Structure formats: structure tokens, C-alpha cells
């Protein structure tokens, strides 16, 4: 029986391997990527001015710290080429907390029939859905090469509706500022976690049309949009302007913007819309800032601000939001993304991909070099590998841990609980290039290659050694 770690920093390890641990599952920024200088300077400026620190340290308005809403509206409208409207923005306590608030305000156990997760899916979101009443009602729908298999999802939705009775009376009254959707669709359209894929424009448009048809709300985790780069560019040649190095593939419209451009749907008289963008500063500054935003229709953003916890405690992350407002207003954050964070992630990705092509491609491991099919841009934190037929990713992850002191994410972690059979993922491995020291990116890939070669050389031996370690043990220890 495997002992479950008691703290996230306690990682299952095998000191008998004689090797230091390399953690390629943890989706954190490397400590060297944290902008301590910018955050410190902004905090000092804010805390020296009572006009800023008094409201920043008090209960915040329901929709969030207004200077940040204004600054985000300017930045996001310029980046996505949409009309500026602060009323479309509601400040959150980060993307994860915001998913919970969205579910609390816009779903109902008797009205909302299912949550559809594009699979493979971000594994830590599942418990948020369960905590909000969707235990046993999570459904998997597959990706395709363009990000989501629309035909498969529509077939599943149509079949589901055919055998699902009419919704019961809602448990709670949505009131005039909110509504209860019949379905929820969860997606990471750009630089998906875990697959790294970016959803094509036609798939984005088709998904919005499908959501409108079936009264679904698409929750888009748009947390990697600003962390993209051309795979053929030189990461050492940087510009202080984010837009200077942007490629059209980096500027695909968000689903919330596509939804808005289509006009109000016939079944949406109050204009809540059918897609929202869930943004976060966690990957842009540091996860500990716990500050993010939602962008959707003005009606949806206002309705989200009516969530009970927000009405009671005020907007979450009020002080952190004041720091983010300082950095966005001044352009310091955008400059740092352009000159430091994006080039550093590009450099790390290139190091890992060179090692993958050298050590894993000869072992028939499938690799995706760009986010879009035949694209020239990649981004995010993760690389998704497809193993040779007959090799279990779960077995590989166990052997890498016990024999190489290497932690990788096996595909089964990213299966939708309760609907695992719908999308087979025991043939895939996720690696993270953002966290460990650069030298460990290469060594980690080499260790994985060694394990794959040993398993291929003696498959029966390793099948017999397979343990019963639960994915949850690894997940809890290596978030």
C-alpha cells in the first residue's frame, strides 16, 4: 500500500535510485521566473499612497478593483482587437476559484444536466465540478487535431438529450441577474493543458454555435494566451513590446468574443451569452497572487459579481488586484512578458524539444511541435507525448519514479472521472518544461528514454512489477 504524502511539497521519491529527483509534472513557474522586483516595487508604491492603500486594504466592490478592470479592459481590447468595455470584466481570486464561483451562480443541480470536458482535460478542475454538485455527471468528449471533435460532441449531446427527462424545478431561484444553463462545457482553447493544442478558428466558431443550440455555457481557461511564441524564432532576440513579436496564430479570437460577435442568441433574452473567458495572473506573475478575471457579456460579469461569497467578502484579492493594476497600467507587466517570461519559456521549450527529438522520437514516441495543425507557434507549460502502441503510460510513470526518480504525468490522470472509457489516454505522457532547472529538462527526457527502452526490452518483467499506486497520490504531491 502506498503512503499518501501529507503535503504538496512531499514528493514520492526513491532514494535507492541514487539520483536526484526531477519533477516534470509540476505545473509551476521556476522560481527564477517570479517577478519579485516588479511586485516589490508596486507594493511599495501602493502602500505609500493612502489614496491607493485605503481602498486596496478594505472590502472591495463586488465586480472587483476598478483600476484593474479599467487597465485590463484597455490591454485586452488592444490585444484581441475588440471594443473596450470594463463592464465585461469581473475580477476573481484566480482561475480555479472563479470556476467555482461560475458554477455557484450559473448552474443548478436540477437544471444543469452535465459538464462536458474536452479530454484530455486539466486534471485538477474535476474536483471543483464535483464540489459543486456534479459528481457522476462529468462527461468526456474527445479532442481532434484541431482542438475539439465537434461531431463527436454534438452526437453525445443529442444522444444525451434524447434520453434525459425535462429538467426539474431549480433548487434555487436564479433571480434576474443570473441564469441556470442546461449544460457546461469546459475547455482550454489555447495551449491546452495537457495536450498543448490550440483550437482552430473554425472549431471555436462551431463550438460556440453548438453551445447556443444546447443552452450550454463554455468556460474557457484562457490562462496561456500571452505565453506563446514562434517556434522558429530566436528566444535571445527580444523586443520590449509584446505586439512586436506576435504572429496571427497568437491572436485567435476568444470564444467569448466570437459569441459576442454573433449577437444575442434567441434563447438568451437577457444577454448572458454562452462563452466566458477565465483569465489569470498566476502564470504571468506568480500563482500566489491569486488574482484573475472573467470576461464575458456585461450581464454575465455583473451576475458573477452577485455570487454570495463575493457579496459578503467583497471582491477577492483586493490588495493583489491593486498591485496587478499598477503593473498593467504602467506597462511593466507587458514589458516583462515580452522581454523575460515568454523568451525564457520559449528557451526552455526548445531545450526540451531538442532532447525529445533526439532521445524519444527514435522510440516511436509521437510529438506535437506546434499548437495548431501545421502551425508555427507553441506556448504554455506542457508537452504531450504519445507512446508506442502496447506501452502503458501509467506503468511508465511508475517505473520512472521507482527506477529513475523522475516524476511525469501519465495520461490516465487527465481522463474524466466516471467517463474514463470514452477517451483512452493510457498511451500518453505529459511533461512540464517551466519548473525544473534547465539541465534537468534534458536529463529528465534521457531518463524517460532509458525507461522506455527497458520496458520494450523486457515487457513481461515490467508488467509484473506494476504497482497499485493511485493517480491521486501522485497528483496531490505534485500539483
Give the tens place of pLDDT for each residue, 441-461: 999 999 999 999 999 999 888
What number is the average pLDDT over the span 163-178?
85
pTM of the predicted model, to two decimals?
Answer: 0.94
15-27+381-477 is classed CATH 3.90.1150.10: yes
**Cell matching residue 403:** 527506477
What per-residue confidence (pLDDT) applies to 172? 85
pLDDT at 4: 37
Please give the residue that has the higher pLDDT: either 384 or 173: 384
Q: Cis peptide before 253, with omega less than 30 degrees from 0? A: no
| 150-162 and 201-213 helices, crossing angle to 10° | 10
Between CA 338 and CA 239 the distance in angstroms is 6
d(CA 406, CA 270): 52
Residue 5 has pLDDT above 50, yes or no: no
SS3 69: helix
| For residue 60, pLDDT beyond 90 | yes
| Residue given cell 470514452 in the structure block | 422
Report the alpha-carbon distance of residue 381 to residue 379 in Å, rounded: 7
The answer on pLDDT for 25 being more than 80 is yes
pLDDT confidence band for 6 (50 / 70 / 90): very low
Per-residue pLDDT averaged across 79-89, rounded?
A: 97
User: Residue 187 to residues 115, 140, 208, 271, 275: CA-CA distances in angstroms?
Assistant: 11, 11, 12, 21, 10
Instruction: Give the residue with greater pLDDT, 322 vs 459.
Output: 322
What is the SS3 assignment for 156?
helix
What pLDDT, on a 0 to 100 scale, did the predictor assign at position 470? 66
pLDDT of residue 13 exceeding 80? no
Q: What is the mean pLDDT of residues 346-351?
A: 98
Give yes or no for residue 148 having a pLDDT over 60. Answer: yes
Residue 377 has φ and ψ, to the nearest 5°, of -130, 140
pLDDT at residue 7 tops 80: no
pLDDT (0 to 100) of residue 2: 35
Mean pLDDT of the chain: 93
Look at residue 169 in the predicted model and tell me its pLDDT.
84
Q: How far, in Å, CA of 239 to CA of 115, rounded? A: 41
Per-residue confidence (pLDDT) for residue 238, from 0 to 100: 73
* C-alpha span between 389 and 210 (Å, rounded): 34
- Give the class (CATH, top level) of 41-334: alpha beta
Q: How far is CA 417 from the centre of its chain?
A: 18
239-257 average pLDDT score = 85
Residues paired with residue 116 on neighbouring β-strands, in sequence order = 139, 185
pLDDT, tens digit, 9 for 90 and up, residues 107-143:
999 999 999 999 999 999 999 999 999 999 999 999 9
What's the pLDDT at 412?
Answer: 97
Min mean pLDDT across 245-254, 268-277, 378-387, 459-468 is at: 459-468
CA-wise closest residue to 92 among 309, 323, 290, 347: 290
Strand pairing partners for 49?
none
CA-nearest of 200, 221, 266, 261 to 99 is 221
Q: Nine-digit cell at 369?
A: 511541435
Name the least confident of 235-249, 312-326, 399-413.
235-249
User: pLDDT class for 3, splitting at 50, 70, 90?
Assistant: very low
Q: What is the pLDDT of residue 243?
A: 72
CA distance from start to end of the chain: 22
pLDDT at residue 355 in the model? 99
The Cα angle at residue 355 between residues 364 and 118, in degrees rounded to 5: 65
- The CA-atom distances, in angstroms, between 377 and each of 251, 340, 367 are 11, 18, 14
List, for residues 387-422, the tens digit of each pLDDT value.
999 999 999 999 999 999 999 999 999 999 999 999
Domain borders along the chain are 15-27+381-477, 41-334
**Residue 1, burial from CB neighbour count under 10 angstroms (0-12, 13-18, 19+):** exposed
Q: How many CB atoms lie within 10 A of CB 311?
A: 10
Percent of all residues in the chain with a pLDDT value above 70, rounded to a whole number? 93
Could you tell me if 205 and 241 are in contact, meaning their C-beta atoms sit under 8 angstroms apart? no
What whole-number distance in Å separates Cα of residue 294 and Cα of residue 300?
A: 9
SS (H, E, C) 308-345: HHHHHHCCCCHHHHHHHHHHHHHCHHHHHHHHHHHHHH
Amino acid at each position: 500500500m502506498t503512503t499518501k504524502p501529507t503535503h504538496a511539497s512531499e514528493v514520492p521519491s526513491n532514494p535507492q535510485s541514487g539520483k536526484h529527483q526531477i519533477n516534470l509534472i509540476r505545473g509551476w513557474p521556476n522560481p527564477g521566473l517570479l517577478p519579485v522586483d516588479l511586485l516589490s516595487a508596486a507594493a511599495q508604491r501602493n502602500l505609500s499612497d493612502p489614496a491607493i492603500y485605503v481602498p486596496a486594504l478594505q472590502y472591495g466592490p463586488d465586480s472587483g478593483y476598478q483600476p484593474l478592470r479599467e487597465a485590463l479592459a484597455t490591454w485586452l481590447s488592444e490585444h484581441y482587437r475588440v471594443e473596450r468595455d470594463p463592464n465585461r470584466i469581473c475580477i476573481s481570486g484566480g482561475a480555479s476559484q472563479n470556476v467555482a464561483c461560475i458554477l455557484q451562480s450559473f448552474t443548478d443541480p436540477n437544471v444543469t444536466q452535465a459538464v462536458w470536458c474536452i479530454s484530455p482535460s486539466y486534471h485538477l478542475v474535476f474536483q471543483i465540478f464535483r464540489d459543486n454538485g456534479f459528481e457522476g455527471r462529468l462527461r468526456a468528449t474527445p479532442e481532434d487535431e484541431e482542438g475539439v471533435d465537434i461531431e463527436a460532441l454534438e452526437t453525445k449531446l443529442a444522444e444525451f438529450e434524447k434520453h434525459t427527462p425535462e429538467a426539474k424545478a431549480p433548487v434555487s431561484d436564479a433571480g434576474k441577474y443570473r441564469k441556470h444553463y442546461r449544460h457546461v462545457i469546459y475547455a482550454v482553447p489555447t495551449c491546452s493543458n495537457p495536450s498543448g493544442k490550440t483550437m482552430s478558428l473554425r472549431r471555436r466558431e462551431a463550438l460556440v454555435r453548438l453551445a447556443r443550440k444546447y443552452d450550454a455555457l463554455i468556460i474557457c481557461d484562457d490562462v496561456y494566451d500571452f505565453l506563446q511564441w514562434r517556434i522558429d524564432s530566436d528566444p535571445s532576440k527580444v523586443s520590449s513590446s509584446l505586439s512586436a513579436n506576435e504572429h496571427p496564430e497568437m491572436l485567435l479570437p476568444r470564444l467569448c468574443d466570437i459569441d459576442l460577435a454573433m449577437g444575442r442568441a434567441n434563447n438568451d433574452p437577457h444577454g448572458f451569452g454562452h462563452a466566458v473567458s477565465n483569465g489569470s495572473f498566476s502564470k504571468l506573475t506568480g500563482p500566489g497572487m491569486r488574482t484573475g478575471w472573467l470576461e464575458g457579456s456585461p450581464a454575465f460579469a455583473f451576475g458573477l459579481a452577485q455570487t454570495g461569497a463575493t457579496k459578503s467578502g467583497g471582491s477577492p484579492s483586493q490588495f493583489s488586484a491593486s498591485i496587478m493594476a499598477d503593473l498593467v497600467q504602467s506597462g511593466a507587466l507587458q514589458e516583462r512578458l515580452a522581454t523575460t517570461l515568454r523568451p525564457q519559456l520559449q528557451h526552455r521549450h526548445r531545450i526540451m524539444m531538442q532532447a525529445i527529438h533526439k532521445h524519444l522520437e527514435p522510440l516511436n514516441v509521437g510529438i506535437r511541435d506546434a499548437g495548431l495543425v501545421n502551425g508555427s507557434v507553441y506556448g504554455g507549460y506542457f508537452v504531450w507525448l504519445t507512446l508506442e502502441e502496447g506501452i502503458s503510460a501509467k506503468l511508465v510513470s511508475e517505473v520512472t519514479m521507482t527506477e529513475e526518480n523522475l516524476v511525469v504525468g501519465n495520461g490516465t490522470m487527465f481522463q474524466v472521472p466516471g467517463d474514463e472509457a470514452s477517451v483512452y489516454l493510457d498511451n500518453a505522457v505529459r511533461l512540464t518544461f517551466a519548473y525544473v532547472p534547465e539541465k534537468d529538462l534534458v536529463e529528465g527526457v534521457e531518463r524517460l528514454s532509458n525507461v522506455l527502452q527497458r520496458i520494450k526490452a523486457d515487457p513481461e518483467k515490467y508488467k509484473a512489477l506494476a504497482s497499485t499506486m493511485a493517480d491521486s497520490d501522485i497528483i496531490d504531491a505534485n500539483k
